[in-house]
Amino acid sequence: MRRNVAFLALIALVATIVATGSVAAQTPGGSTEVTVGSEDSFFSQNKQNEPGLAVDASSPNIMAAGANDNIDLELCNAGDPTTCPFTPGVGVTGVQLSTNSGTSWVQPTYTGYSARGCVGDPNPDVTTDECVPAEDGPIGTLPNYFEHGLVSNGDPEVAFGPRMNAQGEFDYAAGSRLYFANIATNFPGTDQGFKGSGAIGVSRLDVTGPGNRLADALAGVNDAWYDPVIVTKQNSALFSDKEHLWADNAESSEFFGNAYVCNVGFRGAAGSEPVLFSRSTDGGDTWKVRQLSAATNNNQTGGRQGCFIKTDSEGTVYVFYLGTRIQDRQSVIFLTRSYDGGENFDKPRAIAEVEEVGIFDPVQGRSTFDGIAGGRTNSFPSVDIANGAPEGNGPDTIVLTFPDGPTPDEPGEPNEEARILTSVDGGDFFTDQEVGSPAGDRPDFPAVAISPDGTDAYLTYNNFLQPWQESTLSPARLMQGVVRHAEVNPATGAIAGWTDLFRGPTGDARGSSANGLGFEFLGDYNYAVATNDFGSAVWIDLREVADCPAMDAYRNFLAGGAEAPRPRPNTDCVQTEDSAFGNTDIFGGTYLDPS
């Protein structure tokens, strides 16, 4: 199993790589680990999920990724070894950077509030060894949160945009800026200026241009990053969640350089959840917030989830989200657009009907993709637009994907599909739904990208090899990462056909886990990006996960409504040199355009 990656030589080469803008890419079929910082052997420090990914359009050798990452939490052995808590105050938003187009990754070690050293007593009968986190310990997550009374709380989203020049205008000649969004919470016992249980925070890092701090960021210098900014307009009842982040990266756009965040605002006892939208016109220093959708969530209107933002070459802002069509209670993908840089939006309209995936799981009281006590699932949209970045003036072909049911629970039943829609007229009309996955695949968490010139599309998803299971005992719930490619006609949006670029090793989803141990945890999404030369993807990967029979038996008791003692994951589950219980990783690949 991998260990921390040495990167001093890489840092020394950063200036040369940035100056040349050289592009490296893996041969088709390859993959590499993105979450390279954590110890693999022990739960829950070995748990990562929900990856984000971005490529700098002006310097495509520079990429950024993020993930929910338990790297800095206490081990289950600290205190009661049958509990694996989220240590209060410890951040979980992992940071990864690449300077060679995703061929390899660095997860810097910063300093902050860390429980990484709380490993507990090796004797599992000792339950009194409480964790005392270090205030200046090592962290593999976003820096500068603890110092401002905040906690980085996951759901990472990343995007690159231009920096401002001396005249206050966005200009790639002045360099590029990385925006990194996540859920922020107040550090326990403090109130640092926002109300409610969760806000959206954005950190920033200048990666190219005069005075850029990329080398410092790779070397683990906290001050390489700007301090986090709270984006959302908070109140005491608001939990801001399910955010997406984008920066207008096409020079031809009237609103080049604007940064945008969307999220769902969960308003506590009121039961409402509107889609909210924030924009910044000054490089992320300040943000203006507005509401895009209805707020109600009831039997008549349903709720909203999973927003996604992109911009075209003219600066039109597109916001997609999953919701319910009031007239017939049908789940649909909504689209709303802004033609004035996010000031005003047209009326949301349904562009695709969704048959949501998953089967109800009595253990969790929600739908799961692979079986009882399994991984939760959703039908959130993933979108990309061929806007011609960095110069712009692209064909503006829109490509959209989402998973569509029904979910099989018997062999031979039709599988779910990764549905694909395209538009070449600014979202007025979308093609009939096509399928990007072969009939034998069960695709979950699909993500799509299209090259800036509109000629190549890339699709990634997690493929499950068995139907939905009514027991946790058998058979194995095998899953693998998949990356596919298709030629696209930029004038018509027609897709010529999907072929595999990568089909990865399998792992057993039963070896993944929520921190509470009662069910699996795989997160909510994967991610893909594309340039005119290559496509890149990141996905949750199970190749180093180990199934734990003791945990399977425990979860099966829960499924039957019975109580049972919880196993001790780091002693009752066997670790080997190559795998461990709970060791979900983020892997990725970068693939040259095969056409």
Token pair in block for residue 317: 């802002």
Q: Residue type for 7, please?
A: F
55 belongs to a structural domain: yes
Rounded to two decimals, what is the model's pTM?
0.94
Are residues 154 and 7 located together in one domain of the fold? yes
- pLDDT score for 18: 40
Q: Tell me which H or E stretch contains 518.
A: none
**Helices within 165-316 (DSSP H only):** 214-218
Among 456, 391, 401, 435, which residue's Cα sits nearest to residue 592?
456
- Say if 445 falls within a structural domain: yes
Q: Are residues 7 and 144 in the same domain?
A: yes
| 479 inside domain | yes
Q: What pLDDT was estimated at residue 303?
A: 85
- Residue at 472 is within a domain: yes
In a domain, 362, yes or no: yes
Which of 230, 246, 270 marks a domain boundary? 230
Count of structural domains, the chain? 2
Quick one: which of 285, 96, 138 has its CA closest to 202? 285
- Same domain, yes or no: 221 and 361: no
Residue type, 301: T
pLDDT at 29: 58
pLDDT of res. 20: 39
Same domain, 358 and 226: no
| Domain end marker among 183, 201, 230 | 230
DSSP state of 10: H
Determine the 3-state secondary structure of 148 from DSSP: helix
**Residue 3 domain flag:** yes
β-bridge partners, 141? 94
Q: What is the 3-state secondary structure (H, E, C) of 111-137?
A: EEEECCCCCCCCCCCCCCCCCCCEEEE
Q: Domain range for residue 427?
A: 354-595
Q: Looking at the domain assignment, is residue 311 inside a domain?
A: no
Among 208, 230, 252, identify where a domain stops. 230
Residues 359 and 219 in one domain: no
* Digitized pLDDT (tens) for each residue of the chain, 595 residues in all: 443 433 333 333 334 334 434 444 544 458 999 999 988 999 999 999 999 999 999 999 999 999 999 999 999 999 999 999 999 999 999 999 999 999 999 999 999 999 999 999 878 788 878 899 999 999 999 999 999 999 999 999 999 999 999 999 999 999 999 999 999 999 998 876 688 889 999 999 999 999 999 999 999 999 999 999 999 998 888 888 899 999 999 999 999 999 999 999 998 766 789 999 999 999 999 999 999 998 888 877 888 999 999 999 999 999 999 999 988 889 999 999 999 999 999 999 999 999 989 999 999 999 999 999 999 999 999 999 999 999 999 999 999 999 999 999 999 999 999 999 999 999 999 998 899 999 999 999 999 999 999 999 999 999 999 999 999 998 999 999 999 999 999 999 999 999 999 999 999 999 999 999 999 999 999 999 999 999 999 999 999 999 999 999 999 999 999 889 999 999 999 888 889 999 999 999 999 999 8
In this structure, are residues 468 and 427 in contact, taking their beta carbons and an 8 Å threshold?
no
- Residues 363, 220 within the same domain: no
pLDDT tens-digit series, residues 208-260: 999 999 999 999 999 999 999 999 998 888 888 899 999 999 999 999 999 99
CA dist 487 and 496 (Å) reads: 5
The answer to whether residue 129 sits within a structural domain is no
Whole-number Å distance between alpha carbons of 68 and 182: 10
Predicted confidence at residue 235, as pLDDT, reads 87
Pair 550, 411 in one domain: yes
